[in-house]
Amino acid sequence: MASSIIGNWKMNGHSALVAEMVGQLKNLVNQVGEGVQVVICPPFPYLDLLQKTVGDAPIGIGAQNVHPEPGGAFTGEVSVTMLQEWGVTHCIVGHSERRLYFGETDDLVNQKVKILLAQHIQPILCVGESLAQREAGIQEATVIGQLGAALQGISSEELSKCIIAYEPIWAIGTGKTATAQQANQMHSTIRHKLAQLSSDEIARAMPVVYGGSVNPKNSGELLQQSEIDGSLVGGASLKPQDFCQIIQSSQ
Ligand code: PGA
């Protein structure tokens, strides 16, 4: 399976970084070929510039959020058709920062996944447990619960178009990565749940990527794990050289 390396800029970056990042990525994506799918998810204001700068290079255009309604009186929100106008191919949903700071529930995440699939934008569905949940030994139950709720009412065919990102909350932005074994174990649990929701064949073909303090030093070992199909990179995706090294380490 091709690896997916996805950069989540969060509320960071600027126009000059779009040009710098894409400039470096264009050469690299040609070198690595179809074995690696690269996606950049900048804040909304840079999506238009990103699309124009990427042109026809094989680099995915990712958003960080979407509203589940097609339009209306939702001040400050962005609809799926607006994302399409920006050429968006992917969209992060259910990130723990949105669940924590913006009160996003499993039900809302489920609605967002559905509207994205209906409009052919690939959801990057984030799941992951808190430190307290891991210490209580309920990390697998937590992640399985999040997956079941977020993917409720979605057909196997639609499910096959999702990317799942396992991001343990205690590893995000903390410099503490899950060990390669911890991550691989959870990815295997995730794939088992995906098989229950669809089929073994679909679950095997779906990208399940890891996120949480991924950097050029630890990415090689993580990406070598049998169940890890790529990474969702936060901080290191703001540094073109680091992001390029992570892409290279996925080969
Ligand atoms: P991080 O963020 O790489 O800075 O830990 C990952 C994420 O939240 O997507």
Q: What is the pLDDT along the chain (251 residues), one digit of tens a residue?
A: 889 999 999 999 999 999 999 999 999 999 998 889 999 999 999 999 999 999 999 999 999 999 999 999 999 999 999 999 999 999 999 999 999 999 999 999 999 999 999 999 999 999 999 999 999 999 999 999 999 999 999 999 999 999 999 999 999 989 888 899 999 999 999 999 999 999 999 999 999 999 999 999 999 999 999 999 999 999 999 999 999 999 999 98
Quote the ligand 1 centre to 96 CA distance (angstroms).
10
In this structure, which residue's CA is closest to atom 7 in ligand 1? 234
Residue 232: predicted pLDDT: 98
For a pocket test of ligand 1, which of 213, 219, 238 has the largest count of ligand atoms closer than 8 A to its C-beta?
A: 213
Residues whose CB falls within 8 Å of the CB of residue 176, separated by 6 or more in sequence, listed in order: 170, 212, 213
SS3 content of the chain, % helix, strand, coil (to 5): 50, 15, 35
Burial-class residue 113 by CB neighbours within 10 Å (0-12, 13-18, 19+). buried
Tell me what pLDDT residue 116 has.
98
Ligand 1 atom closest to the Cα of residue 8 is 9
Query: Would the CB of 233 count as within 6 Å of ligand 1?
Result: yes
Question: Does the beta carbon of 8 lie inside 6 Å of ligand 1?
Answer: yes
The ligand 1 atom nearest the CA atom of 232: 9
Please identify, by atom number, the ligand 1 atom nearest to the C-alpha of residue 171: 5
* Å from CA of 72 to ligand 1 middle: 32
26 phi and psi angles, rounded to 5 deg: -60, -45
Q: What pLDDT does 251 receive?
A: 83
Q: Give the integer Cα–Cα distance in Å for 165 and 211.
A: 7
Cα dist from 92 to 26, 48, 119, 163, whole Å = 22, 17, 15, 9
Is 213 a pocket residue for ligand 1 (Cβ < 6 Å)? Answer: yes
Give residue 235 CA to ligand 1 midpoint distance, Å.
6
> Counting atoms of ligand 1 from 1, which one is nearest the CA of 173?
5
- The backbone torsions φ and ψ at residue 8, rounded to the nearest 5 degrees and listed phi first, read -110, 105
Regarding the beta carbon of 234 and ligand 1, being less than 6 Å apart is answered yes
Rounded distance from Cα 233 to ligand 1 centre (Å): 5
DSSP letter (8 states) at residue 58: S
Cross-strand pairs, 123: 91
Q: Which two tokens stand for residue 119?
A: 């409009």
pLDDT of residue 33: 85
Q: Are strands 163-166 and 208-211 parallel, antiparallel or unpaired?
A: parallel
pLDDT at 180: 95
Task: Look up 95 and say whether it is catalytic.
Answer: yes
- Pairing type for strands 3-8 and 163-166 reads unpaired
